[in-house]
A = this chain, B = another copy of it.
């Protein structure tokens, strides 16, 4: 078996993103790990993520905001993490428009 090699999640990056990009890093029986890249994209107003799985997410680069169904909003900077329990309704209400924001998201059973 070849020895494990290094894969950098911060570069190289696309020069700009016309749409959010989702890259599967791990897709195992009970856990999925994804890199998500955004540049200004948000969840459409009035739409909510209402997920059957728990999601733990950390911002690796950039800046973003997440809104909850009660109107509360949290701002995320680099290194900020948040655990979104299954069925915690949320949406991405802002991502920085000028540069790529990189999320690392781990999904696991509730």
- Hey, which bits of chain A sit against chain B, CB under 8 A? 1, 3-11, 25-26, 28-31, 33, 54, 56, 58, 60, 68, 70, 72, 74-85, 88, 104, 106, 108-109
Q: Closest residue of chain B to A81, judged by CB?
A: B7
Q: Closest residue of chain B to A57, judged by CB?
A: B4
Judge whether A106 and B4 touch: CB under 8 Å.
no
Docked CA distance A54–B104 (Å): 18
Complex interface: chain B residues within 8 A of A108 (CB): 26, 28, 30-31
23 A-B Cβ contacts within 8 A?
Answer: A3-B68, A3-B72, A4-B74, A4-B82, A4-B83, A6-B74, A6-B80, A7-B80, A8-B77, A8-B79, A9-B79, A9-B80, A10-B78, A10-B79, A25-B81, A26-B106, A26-B108, A29-B109, A31-B31, A31-B108, A33-B106, A60-B60, A106-B106
